[in-house]
Amino acid sequence: MGSEARISTIENVVDGGFCVGCGACAFSAGTGMNINKYGEYTPDLDALNEKGQEALEKAQFVCPSLNPSYNEDVLATEFLADENSNKSEYIGYYENVYGGYVKEADYRNRGTSGGFGTWVGAALFQKGMIDGVIHVKETKRENPLDPFFKYGISTTLDEIQNGARTKYHVIELSEILNLIREKPGKYLLIGVPCMVKAVRRVQLTDPFVKESIKYTLSLVCGHLKSINWTLSLAWGKGIVPEKATKFKYRTKGEGISARAYVFTAYSDSLEIAEDSAKVIGGKFNQGALMLEACNFCDDVVGETADITVGDAWLPQFEIDAQGTNMLIVRNREINELLQQSIKEDRVNLVDLTEADAKYAQAGGFRQRREGLSFRLGKMDKQNKMRPEKRIKANSHALTELRKTIYTMREGVTTVSRESFVKALENNDYSIYNKRLKIYLKRLRLLEVASSAPRFISKKIATLRLKNNI
């Protein structure tokens, strides 16, 4: 396959469905971002083209879907290699891997899992190592396709703590990167892997951003969900898009397992909680209303970040309903902070291994390794333009059943995106509900057949741990 089949411009990225809407291109070129009918961010291409060749080249350099010569491996070597003694094919450079939860205050109760997603920023702030945290905050909605959340800066402990809980929602960086020019300081930036990758590229070209963003924290990412996904969950429980005001993706409470994704949707007059798996398209890993670009990502754990925080989906932690985090630490200063906090009994952490980290996110690695290898092979066979990735096309041997499942998962994304737009246009939720229900039922039958051996092995491992075998 020749180089002509590889995307090389921002237009290629947007037209091909490879744009994650990160906003790095808009920041570098001094343009803006738009929200399309699918509830996804895309760059303003007209404004970008008007800026001229120099601006376009800057935009294309920072785009996480372009420039494979600055992939995650290269960026991690540039920013992290000197501080780390270990290198993994799956989790990148790392100094330590931990599993555990925050003991002090109420970080764990307020957080999605073990509380570290918020605690790290708070601890750095309290130590005077940063002036604030750049993280996702709730924003006021005025129109049906307005975002529920945007990046903001927190410069007090209360503000940082109030940023707890994961938001499965598209975010863009250009506004906040422009804002830090007006509020100089040292910040921790929290984002998903592609956002951190984009920030690292911006740091290579912009000394001010490099100086301002002192630390980066990546959340483990399955994929990005559009604004429409949030609307679909609320609509599925009776809150129409124009009435939806606020949303909480993972609700903690008595009787709610750490594995349960119970959302709470709000309007001016309603507050409704429901297990997302009980709403059509709500089971996260089915891929409904996700960004098409996420099918072409090969970074599960934010390999370019100073620290990664995710759920520790491991047998030894499953009996704890409050949730447990997995931490992958790549920054020596953050590792020292964690070690000191263990001694002070502020946090509960145990050492994990690279194998534990891989096991904890096994589904994500299957999707981003064997699944990506299959999808790239399909694109090449059809002579379609696509990004250059670290994973090579057809590098994993797959059964026909697995190939069918990966193809159908792509179909879920396509069908859900188009049918939800039609539902919005016709003000009729049933258009989305009926169309997607049929497709998901077929996919579920195939997934059950494929996952049975893994399910049995996992149950055996859990029983062994419980019985100390």
Position 199 scores a pLDDT of: 98
Q: Are residues 346 and 376 in the same domain?
A: no
173 and 67 in one domain? yes
Question: Is there a single domain that holds both residue 358 and residue 377?
Answer: no
The DSSP bridge pattern shows strands 213-219 and 307-311 to be parallel
DSSP run (H or E) holding 197: helix 193-205
DSSP 284: G
Query: Do 311 and 398 sit in the same domain of this protein?
Result: no
**pLDDT number for residue 464:** 52
Tell me which residue of 136, 86, 118, 158 sits closest to 354, measured CA to CA.
86
If asked whether residues 329 and 397 sit together in one domain, one would say no
Residue 250 lies in a domain: no
Residue 159 and residue 18 share a domain: yes
Residue 285 inside a domain? The answer is: no
In a domain? residue 277:
no
Q: What angle do CA 104, 256, 433 make, to 5 degrees?
A: 130
Domain membership of residue 235 (yes or no) is no
Is there a domain that residue 263 lies in?
no
- Summarize pLDDT for 363-400 with one digit per residue, the tens: 999 999 999 999 999 999 999 999 999 999 999 999 99
- 266 domain-assigned: no
Look at residues 337, 363, 389 and tell me which one is the last residue of a structural domain.
363
Q: pLDDT, tens digit, for every residue of 97-127?
A: 999 999 999 999 887 789 999 999 999 999 9
User: Letter for the amino acid at 343?
Assistant: K
Range of the domain at 336: 3-226+290-363
pLDDT in tens, 275-302: 999 999 999 989 999 999 999 999 999 9
The pLDDT value given to residue 164: 75
Which of 340, 363, 386 finishes a domain?
363
10 and 138 inside one domain = yes
Last residue of one domain, picked from the residues 363, 381, 402? 363
Q: Dihedral through CA 92, CA 94, CA 96, CA 101, nearest 10?
A: -60
Give the pairing type, strands 96-102 and 347-352. antiparallel
> Does one domain contain both 30 and 179?
yes
Query: Does residue 255 sit within a domain?
Result: no
Alpha carbons 14 and 31: distance in angstroms, whole number: 15
Same domain, 28 and 127: yes
| Domain shared by 190 and 328, yes or no | yes
Which pLDDT score, from 0 to 100, does residue 1 have? 39
18 shares its domain with 94? yes
User: How many distinct structural domains can be found in the chain?
Assistant: 2
In terms of domains, do 359 and 402 share one? no
Is 283 contained in some domain? no
Collapse the DSSP code of 229 into the 3-class scheme (helix H, G, I; strand E, B; otherwise coil) and give the result: helix
* SS3 assignment, position 445: helix
